Structures are given as structure tokens and as C-alpha cells.
Amino acid sequence: MNESVIVVGGGVMGASAALALTRLGRQVTVLDQSEIPNRQSASGDQLRTFRLSYGKDAFYSSMALKSLPLWRELCEQSSDQFFQQNGFLDLAVQAHGYEEHCARVLKDLEIPCATLSKEDIRARFPMMNSRAFRFGLLHKEGGMLWAIRAVSAILGLAQRRGVKVRPHTRIVSVVKDKGAIKGLKDAAGRAWTADSYLFAPGAWTPELLKAYRLPLKVTLQQQIYIRPPYNRGRYRPEHFPPFFVPSQGFYGFPMHIHGFMKIAESRKGPTAKPGDAAEREITPQFERKVRAFLKRFIPELANFTESEGHVSYYTSTKDEDFIVDRLTGTANGFVMAGFSGHGFKFAPLLGQSMAQLMVGGKSDLNLHRFRLNRF
Ligand SMILES: Cc1cc2nc3c(=O)[nH]c(=O)nc-3n(C[C@H](O)[C@H](O)[C@H](O)COP(=O)(O)OP(=O)(O)OC[C@H]3O[C@@H](n4cnc5c(N)ncnc54)[C@H](O)[C@@H]3O)c2cc1C
């Protein structure tokens, strides 16, 4: 009989790990408190950026590079093109170094990347106020991931290999005995047992794993979907890649669902608790901030009249490195958490690495930076 694993959380991390675990011969059950995917989870959004540019942090750039073929393979196997490589554009405003470091690291890793002058920006992206930028960096291997579709596709592949999926099963307690997890209890009082357990509950991690005191902070993140008032054709994904203005902390996507495009801020919002109904709406202050950003950098978008807000949660560590490790003092418990607002793009690689750690005690990817004992 194959060893069994329960995965708590059917977001992109739980789903990716479940698929990798079944490929390594484990019998896997995925439990989620809600539908999979669901809009409250960090993975439950239309789009996530896939960038290989990470300033001077070559470790993340090389992880993104390793993730590329894994995403392509998932698209192929699921026959859904949820990974769209329409390039990624970093836009430098001042000489503060981040974009220069990106260019150097991408070059060292032999990732093709073009430097765009103000004139190039004007010619390629006429909607942008090219005078506001010093230069741009466009790497064509980057792009965007259709997040909800990706989670469904990964879980679909996992289910085809026998993974059981149980939505609407909220785990409320973890039963421990002598350094091992003995079982889980759900909100309906049902007990769940397996040989080992993987926790990937996103923003709910601090609550579910309270006893382990993981140093995580949950923050509320606001995003706005706007409909370009003019020149809509210029914002189609084939003409307009996802972009990031690192010095301003704003990023955006081309037009997608129903002609709307997403603009969001990568900086952390206020501390929050997931599921707080009162916090579902975006604030007028955030909308004003978005308009001010657009007025300066993409002026023709600033006077949008049609928009819709969405609120979601980052679960962050202090150093913004992830947690992918065995739970301290627990022989058969593991955790994937703290993805600090930038984890989606690495999910297949991290899922595979976690599965290797659980099955063989070590992974091909060096997980040193993601260990719990660094805190
Ligand atoms: C606004 C925003 C923008 C982002 N942008 C990017 C980006 O552009 N690029 C990028 O790479 N990354 C980005 N990220 C980060 C990325 O989305 C996350 O790192 C990733 O989705 C985390 O996935 P997860 O599976 O860990 O968590 P989640 O997707 O949150 O999944 C956790 C799941 O666990 C379930 N759960 C929780 N508690 C329980 C329980 N007690 N019992 C059962 N089930 C439970 C939940 O219902 C949920 O489905 C962004 C994140 C946010 C919030």
C-alpha cells in the first residue's frame, strides 16, 4: 500500500505539490475549506505576472528560469494555454539601481532582454508617457499566468492520477502526539488521517498553525480592474505586456476579461484577517492613488469611468523569502507558506521540491532560503 498524504489547501501550492506527490507514488487527498479555486484565496484571481527579473536576486531569477519548462509542460499536458508569454516590461523612473541589476542578472543567466530608450518606449507603447521613464527592460520569456485556469488544470491533472479532492472541508484542528501529527479534525467534526500532512493554507496559515507560531503577516491588497476609455485595441495582450514600475510599486496587465485590465500595487497594505467581510471593497484613497499613477505614466487611462475592485491577501515573511519546510518538531508535517505576494510563478517548481522533500528527505532545488530555522 502506498503511503498517504493529506494536503490542506487547494491553492496553486497545494495543487502543485499534490500533483508532484502523486507522481512520486503517494496517495494524495486535497482538502479545502471552500471551492477550488476560490476568489478568497491568493491563487483565485484571473492573472498573475510571470517575470524573470528580480533585481540583483539571481536566486529568484534562476528559479523563474527553472519554472518555465514546468509551466509549458503543464499547459501541454492539460491542453490549456494558461501561460501566455507575451513578455514582461520593467520601467525605470530614477537611477535607483533595481532595473540595472535586473538587466545584469538576466544577461548573466542568458535570458534575452532588450533595453528600451525613451524613444523606443514611445514607438512601441504610444499610450505611455515616455518622458516619465529613464528606460525600459523587456524580456520576452516573461508574461502572465491565467491563475484560476492554472489551478484548475493542475488539479485536473492530479485527479487524473488518482488524487482525491474534497472541497468545503475546513480543517479546524491538528492533533499532535509525541512529535508527530496523528490526524486532523474538520469543522463538521470529521477526523482525517494519513501518513503525512502538508499544510498550504495561504492567508489562513497563522490561524490553522497557531501552535507553531510561524512569523507571518497577512495584509490586505487592493486591485482595480479598469476599462480603457480609448484606444482599446492597443491594450490587447499581443501588443501590451504585463508591466511593473518598481520605484512606484505599481504593476498592471493588458486588457483581458470583458475588456478590463488590472492595475495593482505591490507594496504591502494594512494588516488584515482573511475573510473580513467589511474589507472586501477597495477604498476611494486607493482609487485616487491609481488615478494619480496613471495620470503620470499612462495618461489616457487616468479618466477611466468603468471599474471594479477586488481585495485579496498577501501572507508575508519579514525577508519575503518563502517557507517550504518540515514543520519544526514534527516528523510527518510539512508547510508551504509565506509567499509574500510573489510565489505563483514558482508553484510547479516548489510543489515538486516539496514532494521530493517529503518523499526522499531532500530536493533538487536548494531550499535553504526557505527554511523555518532562519527566523
Ligand atoms: C493581490 C496579489 C497579487 C499577486 N501577484 C502575483 C504575481 O503577479 N506573480 C506571482 O508570482 N505571485 C503573485 N502573488 C502571489 C501568489 O498569488 C501566491 O503566492 C499564491 O497564489 C499562493 O498560493 P497558496 O496555494 O499558497 O495560497 P492560496 O491560493 O491562498 O490557497 C490556500 C487555500 O487553502 C484553503 N484553506 C485555508 N485554510 C484552510 C483550512 N483550515 N482548511 C481547509 N482549507 C483551507 C483556502 O480556501 C485556499 O483555497 C500575488 C498575490 C496576491 C494576493
Q: Is there a contact between 175 and 184 (Cβ–Cβ < 8 Å)?
A: yes
Q: Is the pLDDT of residue 278 over 60?
A: no
Confidence at residue 1, expressed as pLDDT on a 0 to 100 scale: 64
Instruction: Quote the pLDDT of residue 7.
Output: 99
DSSP 8-state secondary structure symbol assigned to residue 5: E
- Span from the CA of 43 to the centroid of ligand 1 (angstroms): 4
The answer to whether domain 88-140+217-316 has CATH 3.30.9.10 is: yes
- Judge: domain 4-43+148-214+319-374, CATH 3.50.50.60: yes
Task: Write down the pLDDT at residue 279.
Answer: 59
| Single-letter amino acid, residue 63 | M
Between CA 35 and CA 11 the distance in angstroms is 10
Question: Which residue, judged by its Cα, is nearest atom 41 of ligand 1?
Answer: 171
Looking at per-residue pLDDT, the higher value among 285 and 278 belongs to 285
- pLDDT at residue 248 is higher than 90: yes
Report whether pLDDT(280) > 80.
Answer: no
For ligand 1, say whether the CB of 345 is within 6 Å of any of its atoms: yes
Domain ranges of the chain: 4-43+148-214+319-374, 88-140+217-316
- Region 112-133 average pLDDT: 97
User: Do 279 and 257 meet the contact criterion of CB atoms below 8 Å apart?
Assistant: no
Q: How sure is the predictor about 258, in pLDDT bands with cuts at 50, 70 and 90?
A: confident
Structure confidence by residue, pLDDT tens digits, 187-220: 999 999 999 999 999 999 999 999 999 999 999 9
**Tens digit of pLDDT for each residue in 303-332?**
999 999 989 999 999 999 999 999 999 999
- Cβ atoms of 204 and 274 closer than 8 Å: yes
Are the beta carbons of 202 and 337 closer than 8 angstroms?
Answer: yes
Mean pLDDT score of the chain, rounded to an integer? Answer: 96
User: Is the dihedral angle over the CA atoms 31, 33, 37, 40 positive or is it negative?
Assistant: negative
Q: Note whether 4-43+148-214+319-374 and 88-140+217-316 share their fold.
A: no
* Type and span of the H or E element at 135: strand 135-139
**Residue, of 283 and 276, whose pLDDT is higher:** 283
Going from the Cα of 251 to the center of ligand 1, the distance in angstroms, rounded, reads: 18
pLDDT at 277: 54
Q: How far is the CA of 40 from the centre of ligand 1 (A)?
A: 8
CA dist., res. 312 & res. 344, Å (int): 14
User: Is there an atom of ligand 1 within 6 Å of 18 CB?
Assistant: no
| Nearest atom, ligand 1, residue 310 CA | 1
